[in-house]
Amino acid sequence: MKKSLLALLLVVGLSVGGAFAQEQAGQPNKYDGNITYRNVVVYKVFDHKDVVIVMYAKHGKDMGQVMIPKSWMYENPRKLTYRELPKGLNPYMSVVEKDGEFHKVVLNLPPVRSPDSTWTVAKPYTDIGDAASAETLELDY
């Protein structure tokens, strides 16, 4: 009796699951392989008037630096967003590409800017060159 009831439940479950799979198979997936992302560990973030300077981990033991224009936060669609880092995770940066080209960057950082935090303030005379007017982001992984 128990075996036949279990077999009946299994058949019903498989048929219902197959019906849902057929229903969703006809709808296009808006992320159908066009969007990819890479996460890199963030060591330090320097807050400057015009840019955010991020020190990040490269492959192996190397460290990279990238300057991200703050103006990207105000563009539509945004190219720069911040996300509050959940407790227990190390800061990281997600670089999102759409169709193989830069789309946006997400900085996952602690919200509190304390002295022992990832955040710090860049010196006002830091040479940022033309980084504040950059249109794309290129990281050396």
Which pLDDT value is given to residue 99? 87
Residue 60 zone, left/alpha/beta (φ > 0; ψ -120 to 50; rest): left
Residue of 46, 52, 40, 68 whose CA lies nearest to 119: 46
Residue carrying structure tokens 């439940």:
9
pLDDT class of 140 with cuts at 50, 70, 90: confident
Is the pLDDT reported for residue 92 higher than 90?
yes
Residue 108, H or E segment? strand 101-109
Three-class SS of residue 73?
helix
Note the pTM of the prediction, 2 decimals: 0.70
